[in-house]
A and B are shown apart, each in its own frame.
Chain A
Amino acid sequence: MSADWVSVCAVGAIEPGMAGTVPVEGAEEIAIFQTIGGAFYALVNKCPHKGGPLSQGIVHGDSVSCPLHNWRISLQSGEALGEDKGCTPTIPLKVEDGMIWLDRAAIMARAEA
């Protein structure tokens, strides 16, 4: 019963190498990724380039390639990698009791944005 974290889904809901989406009322959709190595990350589901849904990209290492124009985005920092410049907001995430939890304050911040 932590007030700082919102539980979103079970860990098993997202396969390694794939992403799940979480619509947020009044704010931008969040994408939750699991890398093939097993790490979880949450980002706003929007490429800094043209707003492509990152959740639909190919996940490799700890980055995702945007499905629209193949920009490579770091899952950890949200920064565009390589020559491209831009950043997608990240949402702090933790895994506990088999559930994925997102940082309430970060979601609120996006809701106000």
Chain B
Amino acid sequence: MNLQTSIPAPRHADAKERLVVIGNGMAGCRAVEEILALEPDRWAITIFGAEPRVNYNRIMLSPVLAGEKSFDEIVINTAQWYADNGITLVSGDPVVHIDRAAQQVVSRGGRIESYDRLLIATGSDPFVIPVPGKDLPGVVTFRDLDDVETMLAAAETSSRAVVIGGGLLGLEAAHGLSLRGMAVTVVHLMPTLMERQLDEAAGYLLKSELEGRGMTILTGADTAEIIEQDGRVGGVRLKDGTEIPADLVVMAVGIRPNTALAKASGLEVERGIIVDDDMVTSDPAILAVGECVQHRGACYGLVAPIWEMCRALAAGLAASPRGYEGSVTSTKLKVSGVDVFSAGDFSGGEGCEDIVLRDAARGIYKRVVVKDDRIVGAVLYGDTQDGNWYFDLLRQQQDVSDVREALIFGQAFAAGGALADPNAAVAALSDDAEICGCNGVSKGKVVACITGGAASLDAVRAGCKASASCGSCTDLVERLLALTLGDGVEESAKTICGCTSFGHDDVRRAIVERGFRSIPEVMQELHWSTPDGCSKCRPALNYYLLCALPGEYVDDQKSRFVNERMHANIQKDGTYSVVPRMWGGITNPRELRAIADVVEKYDARMVKVTGGQRLDIFGIRKEDLPAVWADLNAAGMVSGHAYGKSLRTVKTCVGSEWCRFGTQDSTGLGVKLEQMSWGSWMPHKFKMAVSGCPRNCAEATIKDFGVVCVDSGYELHIGGNGGIKVRATDLLIRVATEEEALEHCAAFVQLYREDAWYLERTAPWLERKGLDWIKAQLYDDPGAVKALAARFYYSQQFMQDDPWAQRAAGDRADLHSHVGRITAGPPADGLLKAMEPAE
């Protein structure tokens, strides 16, 4: 359907005013349609288009790529339309100059048209990331039909495609290419897909779905260059060094308003061409519409706002202005079988309340953000049928307080009369009504369980399994408890935090039994009530996953407390203290010199001997930490983990080597214990000590694990604490050899790692579970100690990689540098200016 030449139009009567439109796209043509609808005979219209074809529906390019539609099906205005309306179409010959004084435009082919009013609808250009290789053959954008044709040709002859950009456009391109038989890898800079439209939870679901369809999705992936092979594209190299072979690279990282022509003609342009509410630019004879404009500070890349702009523009031209007031936008992903909807603002904010519904069994996530009784945003995944309803409520700013309780269940439910009193709705359910979908438990069974003696949520979960799997019916079960027992409902065990109805044990069990692999997955499957948790549950989930999946789970830095993220201890002035490891509390001149040098070189304000027999260097700035660590590493020292929920120190006395009372080599055993267990993450900090005789100079009986050497061997003690509430240890067992002492220690540590709640020290854990329970876990089954120890050793092979050395080598340099710097300018201008971050 290529039209290389212009369509001749009938001669206009001289009385007609001349309207010239630059841009034969969706905005330009829709504006003309709106103008013709209001004033069919006023204008003689000429449209210039850069593409050599009639106007088509650009947002339907994705279905064309996917093979779901043909080009003819997406044509909006046929050649006949231009003819019928007396419009002169100049296609394939773009305007290159606007002469505002003479009110004329000049095309590349030298055609000159005079205008009374000029309409600029130049749309937007795809943004091409400035990396080496961006101009190689085989690198395309996804903007017009030519791009689609290039991609389709590539899909016929080659097999591997990389799409750079995991936004709306990128994913639609990836989907299309995948349907055309290519192996597609999506490279996305941000950690979650479509981060501008979706939150983390929905992004996670989308990623899982697309991966299930065979695509490879790389998030947090920054493209370094496009690799050349035989004069064309051969692959993509990421900044982390990963190389992905590819025959086709699609850049779909975003669009930029095309303002070049407007800017060159001196119109006011910022990000887009500045227009008022009637879409008039800074020149009253020139209007602009579509993706190229900036209206009240906003630029739009979606079609719905453009329709609204076109109506306002036509009304303004016809001297009956209605005024465009900006748009709230909604998005749907055009990937068949994936239902994703988002609208408005869901980044949260003061006074915003999230209503979240997760149905793991059906793969559904719905989140509606309400502020001042009005919907301000919505994200729907899996079930988007209420998207338009939410969007209507949002746009009309309707007060939703009446339907708030039922809002998240959708229009059908909210309108069903149950809205006034959810308790009444639950009471009205029949006994056969299913309460728990996961375990198939009816209302009758739940009520029978409650009347049979279950007076708490936990008791119901244990008794009839309702709400025991995904927890999405917790609210219903709680209402049934209240309806059946009134004030007789008993509190259940503590939940992790307000984000979930589950306790620590439930979550840990679910992670292991159901094989969860990421924080968003846990939150989705266990129906978290907040979109991304809180500062209580995030670190806990991160630890539970780390413990359950040694060597596989990738630590989530944003779920780490500052000290574990920075590998040092934050002090009240924001500087850090640094404690290098000294195995068993033993040091030597080389280490001491290195520490002394660090203190002087980085101007540390204090060095202190700690209670755990270490040296603590105070007052190090976050920027200096990697250099400090490099210096300490050079003297053979590694991280002391004084900052972590992890093994802290093994304190020792000098034992049989020096002490006249010593019965065993307590320092030697202390060093071995520390070398075995350093670097392991735990529910809380963990301290050990080894005393060479019952005089107990190393204070082993107030440690999490303490060894007291005796003539016949080693007494192993557990659960001591010297903190706020002092607790002396309980004796676990006596063993004869060092090897046994080490193995029992490993087994005990692993039991603590696998069972205790996050932020629960061994002392309260032991009191909660009982010494007998712990002994039973270790000694009832003769293989248990070996099995637990083996799991600990396995996990340790991934943990004993000095985090200081990684940082000293440049890992996560962003955590130790500033993103920018603002300095006072020279006194002459007195202005502030930003500078590049310092090296």
Interfacial residues, chain A to chain B (CB-CB below 8 A): 2, 6-9, 12-18, 20-26, 30, 32, 35-39, 50-53, 56-62, 65, 67-68, 70, 72, 74, 76-77, 79, 96-97, 102, 104, 107-108, 111
Q: How far is the CB of B442 from chain A (nearest CB, A)?
A: 36
Interface positions of B (Cβ within 8 A of A)? 189-192, 195-196, 199-200, 220, 222, 256, 270-271, 346-350, 352, 354, 530-535, 538-539, 557-563, 565-566, 570, 572-574, 814, 818-824, 831-834, 837
Question: Are A68's CB and B534's CB within 8 A?
Answer: no
Query: Residues of B contacting A7 with CB < 8 Å?
Result: 834
| B534 partner residues in chain A, CB cutoff 8 A | 60-61, 65
Which single member of A26, A32, A37 contacts B347 (CB below 8 Å)? A37
Does A25 contact B823, Cβ atoms closer than 8 Å? yes
- On whether the beta carbons of B822 and A23 are closer than 8 Å, the reply is yes
Partner of A70, one of B532, B535, B834: B535
- A61 to B538, alpha carbons, bound, how many Å? 12
Q: B819 contacts A9, CB within 8 Å?
A: yes
B residues in contact with A97, CB < 8 Å: 256, 271
> Shortest Cβ distance from B734 into chain A, in angstroms?
42
Residue pair B565, A37 in contact (C-beta under 8 Å): no
Residue of B561, B572, B820 with highest tally of chain A CB at under 10 A: B820
Does the CB pair B814–A67 fall under 8 Å? no
Nearest A residue to B354 via CB reads A61
Q: Bound state CA distance, A56 and B814, in angstroms?
A: 12
Q: Which residues of B contact A21 (CB under 8 A)?
A: 818-819
Contacts of B818 on A, CB cut-off 8 Å? 20-23
B-side contacts of A72, CB under 8 Å = 535
CB pair A61–B530 under 8 Å, yes or no, is yes
Taken together as a complex, chains A and B put the C-alpha atoms of A79 and B832 apart, in Å, by 27
| A22–B271 CB distance below 8 A | no
Interface pair A23/B821, CB less than 8 Å apart: yes
Residues of A within 8 Å of B354, CB to CB, are: 61
A-B contact pairs, 29 of them (CB 8 A): A9-B820, A13-B819, A13-B820, A14-B819, A16-B558, A20-B818, A22-B818, A23-B821, A23-B822, A25-B823, A36-B199, A37-B199, A37-B347, A39-B347, A39-B349, A51-B572, A52-B572, A56-B565, A57-B562, A58-B561, A60-B534, A60-B535, A61-B531, A61-B532, A61-B534, A68-B570, A77-B350, A96-B271, A104-B831
Nearest CB to that of B190 among chain A residues? A16
Nearest CB of A to B598, in Å: 22
CA distance A53 to B568 in the complex (A): 15
Decide: A107 and B531 in contact? CB cutoff 8 A.
no
Residues of A within 8 A of B824 (CB): 25-26, 111
B822 to A22, Cβ gap below 8 A? yes
**For the complex, what is the distance from the CA of A30 to the CA of B822, rounded to whole Å?**
10
Residue of A nearest to B191 (CB): A16
Selected from B189, B200, B348, B530, the residue in CB contact (under 8 A) with A12 is B189
A56 to B350, CA, bound (A): 21
By the criterion CB–CB under 8 Å, are A38 and B191 in contact?
A: no
Most buried by B among A2, A12, A60, A104: A60
B346 touches A60 (CB 8 A): no
In the complex, chain B residues whose CB is within 8 Å of the CB of A108: 832
Interchain CB contact under 8 A, A60 and B352: no
Task: Write the chain B residue with the least CB distance to A27.
Answer: B822
Q: Name the distance in Å between B578's Cβ and chain A's nearest Cβ.
A: 16
- Choose among A15, A35, A111 the residue that contacts B348 (Cβ–Cβ < 8 A): A35
B832 near A22 with CB under 8 A, answer: no
Q: CA separation between A53 and B347, bound complex, in Å? A: 23
A60 CA / B539 CA spacing, docked (Å) = 11
Q: A22-B820, A35-B348, A58-B538 are in contact. List 11 more A-B contacts (CB 8 A).
A: A13-B814, A15-B191, A16-B190, A16-B200, A23-B818, A39-B348, A60-B532, A60-B535, A61-B354, A61-B532, A67-B570
CB of A26, distance to nearest CB on chain B (Å):
6
Is B535 touching A57 in the complex (CB atoms < 8 A)? yes
* Partner pick for B822 among A14, A24, A39, CB 8 A cutoff: A24
Q: Is the CB of B189 within 8 A of A59?
A: no
Task: Determine the distance from Cα of A66 to Cα of B573 in the docked complex, in whole angstroms.
Answer: 13
- Nearest residue (CB) in B for A8 is B820
Nearest Cβ on chain A to B41's Cβ, whole angstroms: 42
Name the B residues within 8 Å of A107 (CB-CB): 822, 832
Q: Report whether B834 and A6 are in contact in the complex, using a CB–CB cutoff of 8 Å.
A: yes
Chain B minimum-CB-distance residue to A50: B572
Nearest CB on B from A32, distance (A):
7
Distance in angstroms from A90 CB to nearest chain B CB is 11
- With A9-B819, A12-B189, A20-B814 in contact, do A58 and B350 touch (Cβ < 8 Å)? no
* Complex interface: chain A residues within 8 A of B837 (CB): 9
The residues of A that contact B563 with a CB separation of less than 8 Å are 67
Give CA–CA (A77, B352) in the complex, Å. 12
Give bound CA distance, A79 to B563, whole Å: 24
Q: Is the CB of A8 within 8 A of B538?
A: no
Instruction: Report whether A22 and B348 are in contact in the complex, using a CB–CB cutoff of 8 Å.
Output: no
**Complex-state Cα separation, A2 to B294, whole angstroms:** 15
Tell me whether A52 and B200 are in contact (CB under 8 A): no
A13 CA / B837 CA spacing, docked (Å): 11
Shortest beta-carbon distance from A78 to chain B in Å: 10
Least distance between A76 CB and chain B CB atoms (Å): 5
Q: Distance in Å from the Cβ of A53 to the closest Cβ of chain B?
A: 4
Is the CB–CB distance between A76 and B350 below 8 Å?
Answer: yes
